Chains A and B, each alone.
Chain A
Amino acid sequence: MSRRRWLGLAVLLIVLLCVPLVVHSDYLLNVADIAGIYAIAVLGLGILLGFAGQLSLAQAAFFGIGAYASGYMTVHWGWPVLPSMAVATVFSGLIGLGLGWPCLRLSGHYLALATIGFGIITQLVLINWTSVTNGSDGMTGIPPPMIGPFALATYGQYYYLVLASLVLCAYVAWRIKSTRPGRALQAIRENELAASTTGIDPTRYKIVAFVLAGAYAGLAGALLAHSIKFLSPDSYSFDQSVIFLVMLIVGGSGSIGGAILGAVLLTFLPEALRPLKTSYIMVYGAAVIAMIIFMPRGLAGLLSAALGRDDAAAARPLTNPAQPVEAKSA
């Protein structure tokens, strides 16, 4: 990255660090926390879809697994929060491994469908495995994280934990993208066969992408659990997976900044639309259609065009050269 870009990021980070000092509304800070948490889950999906070209609709399931795992360890085992968040992250990554393994021979729509199945089953388990999850009544009494003797009790304090996690996740994603594994994933996205002839093992890299997507969503879920301190299976439905996907597409699927921007924008958009009362989600649905038609390269593409820069990855229009619209020979 150029020096100017680093400088831009540093300024952005300082501005973000100042947010809780300027904004005192608990409501806005809570929405900001949730936006950051969603951004982490969407980044994970970005590694899987944007880098590796694998469409998953189970991101909310991993989000839920991370949330419930961390919630359970702190409530029932009395673990401290930060270690249990880390364990929940690893645990979700391992479940990602378990899902990625059998699904690897699938691609495109088939993969999407298998992940939908996994998402539905996970939600049913969350509802019905009452001895662990407390079913539809939800899990309560989840403690806030402690740093030394200090509890991160307010939304403003929690904001810093979310921000730190998001920066770390974005950095890891950026490292992956700009080094050999990321280029391997992008080669797989563009053409799996061609990638494998250059010595890339598509299976191994796709598993890695699955594990990372699961771990990111797990961390996001754990962060959510200790922020809202209440878990209900409804929050981890198929619809939530769809929302993550839409955030990524709207942001720009190959771009890290785009993923974050999409998550933040689409978390605040429904809040801004609330004056429309009951029709706001309907408007949201229409907005999604309009954005996909009129902003083919996502927000990231729009921004780089506005800045007169052609960032090849961000500006990649959302099409699948590797998987053309192909008629079936039935």
Chain B
Amino acid sequence: MTFDPVANLQLLVSGLAIGSIYALVALGFVLIYNAVGVVNFAQGDFVMFPSYVAISFLLPSITIFGTIVHWQLPLLLVYAVVLVLMIGFGLLFTRIAYYPLRDRGWMPVVISTIGVSIFLRNAAQLVWGSQPQVMPSPFPVQTIALGPLQVRPQDLLIIGVTALLIAFQYFLFERTTLGKQMRATAQDRDAARLIGIRVGRIVTITFVYSVLLGTISGLLVAPIFTITKEMGALIALKAFAASIVGGFGSIPGAIIGGLAIGVIETFGGFYISTAYVDAIAFVILIVVLVVRPQGLFGERVGEKA
């Protein structure tokens, strides 16, 4: 195969776009893990569920509980409504799935997030049926020309929004009291509590923030993916892999790991094999775990003995 710089640049753009999605979901994992020491197995469903909620309001007509409805609200209003609804959902999630189990170590919480995941996926199927759905694109055209490149505007939107969110998060963590409290809680909960930080509230905020990261990824990715009850699962597993590759617990690691997995996977799918494209992330994961278990940016591996 001859080397075609234009085609490769186009691959790079779509790789960075899907990688941005992995990065956002990976950030959600890492923030929750840092705050409470638990991997949230429902993180992928925080991508799937809001996508369904959004199309309920967006599509000209959609079947909900077997009844056809015609809401079709304006796009920006829908985004706002979905974000507000998901804040409520995040509060509920923390209250039900985390709060009663907070003193029992990580495994019961993991199981309970698995329960939430099963619940959400099948609730989605019950409400919206098993037919895959398509979210209308916010852009009138499929591709736009960027010099010699033909790129999807949605890809550029994904990359742009992700960059903004990362900048926002940097500002939040470095410059605001709330962000500093979140970092302090992640570093040492007991010490944070001793200096008067209301740890319970900070943990709730962290959960809600992670839900919102998932929601935004869902709203961004839905126009280029089909919406199914399983759509979040694979994204989440690859985001997991990304956060390990980057070094679990490391925020820059999650971002770089996500982008790297997105790009490598896109190129691998093009040059190596489309059938095994979903395995690429996990091969990278296992290689990294064996060769450099702490990940690219990690400091230590394994939980404390």
Nearest-CB residue, chain B, relative to A286: B119
Nearest-CB residue, chain B, relative to A116: B237
Are A105 and B293 in touch, CB under 8 angstroms? yes
- A296-B101 Cα distance, complex, nearest whole Å: 9
- Which of B36, B105, B251, B303 is packed against the most chain A CB atoms within 10 Å? B303
- A329-B275 Cα distance, complex, nearest whole Å: 40
A: which residues have CB within 8 A of B? 55, 102-103, 105-110, 112-114, 116-118, 120-121, 124, 127-128, 191-193, 238, 242, 245-246, 249, 278-279, 281-282, 284-289, 292-293, 296, 317-330
Interface residue? B22 (CB, 8 A): no
Are A249 and B111 in touch, CB under 8 angstroms? yes
Are B302 and A278 in touch, CB under 8 angstroms? no
Sorted nearest first, the 5 A-B pairs with minimum C-beta distance are A285-B118, A285-B119, A117-B282, A288-B115, A289-B115
Are A245 and B114 in touch, CB under 8 angstroms? yes
- Which of B118, B282, B293, B304 is packed against the most chain A CB atoms within 10 Å? B118
**Residues in chain A near residue B101, CB distance under 8 A:** 292-293
Interface residue? B176 (CB, 8 A): no
Given contacts A120-B282, A279-B122, contact A330 B34 (CB under 8 A): yes
Are A106 and B104 in touch, CB under 8 angstroms? no
- Which of B101, B122, B240 is packed against the most chain A CB atoms within 10 Å? B122
- A113-B33 Cα distance, complex, nearest whole Å: 14
9 contacts between A and B (CB under 8 A): A102-B289, A110-B301, A113-B240, A116-B282, A118-B286, A121-B286, A193-B305, A296-B104, A323-B106
Given contacts A238-B233, A285-B117, contact A330 B249 (CB under 8 A): yes
- A103-B288 Cα distance, complex, nearest whole Å: 11
**Chain A nearest CB: distance from B261 CB in Å?**
12
- A223-B137 Cα distance, complex, nearest whole Å: 48
A327 CB contact (under 8 Å) in B115, B116, B186, B237: B186
Given contacts A110-B293, A286-B115, A325-B106, contact A105 B301 (CB under 8 A): yes
**Chain B nearest CB: distance from A254 CB in Å?**
12
Are A323 and B105 in touch, CB under 8 angstroms? yes
B303 CB contact (under 8 Å) in A114, A121, A323: A323
Nearest-CB residue, chain B, relative to A279: B126
**Chain B nearest CB: distance from A273 CB in Å?**
11
- A96-B219 Cα distance, complex, nearest whole Å: 40
Are B119 and A289 in touch, CB under 8 angstroms? yes
Nearest-CB residue, chain B, relative to A101: B290
Nearest-CB residue, chain B, relative to A127: B275
Given contacts A110-B301, A246-B111, A293-B101, contact A281 B33 (CB under 8 A): no
Given contacts A105-B302, A288-B111, A329-B299, contact A110 B248 (CB under 8 A): yes
B108 CB contact (under 8 Å) in A127, A296, A324: A296
**Chain A nearest CB: distance from B153 CB in Å?**
31
Given contacts A320-B106, A330-B187, contact A128 B293 (CB under 8 A): no
Nearest-CB residue, chain A, relative to B247: A330
Are B244 and A120 in touch, CB under 8 angstroms? no
B112 CB contact (under 8 Å) in A191, A242, A245, A289: A289
Are B276 and A124 in touch, CB under 8 angstroms? yes
**Residues in chain B near residue A329, CB distance under 8 A:** 187-188, 299
- A288-B301 Cα distance, complex, nearest whole Å: 30
Are A326 and B119 in touch, CB under 8 angstroms? no
Interface residue? B279 (CB, 8 A): yes
Are A124 and B251 in touch, CB under 8 angstroms? no
**Chain A nearest CB: distance from B74 CB in Å?**
31
Interface residue? B37 (CB, 8 A): yes
**Residues in chain B near residue A191, CB distance under 8 A:** 305
**Residues in chain A near residue B121, CB distance under 8 A:** 285
Are B100 and A293 in touch, CB under 8 angstroms? yes
Nearest-CB residue, chain B, relative to A135: B275
**Residues in chain B near residue A324, CB distance under 8 A:** 37, 105, 304
Are B115 and A108 in touch, CB under 8 angstroms? no
Are A113 and B116 in touch, CB under 8 angstroms? no
- Which of B105, B115, B304 is packed against the most chain A CB atoms within 10 Å? B115
Are B116 and A289 in touch, CB under 8 angstroms? yes
- A320-B38 Cα distance, complex, nearest whole Å: 12
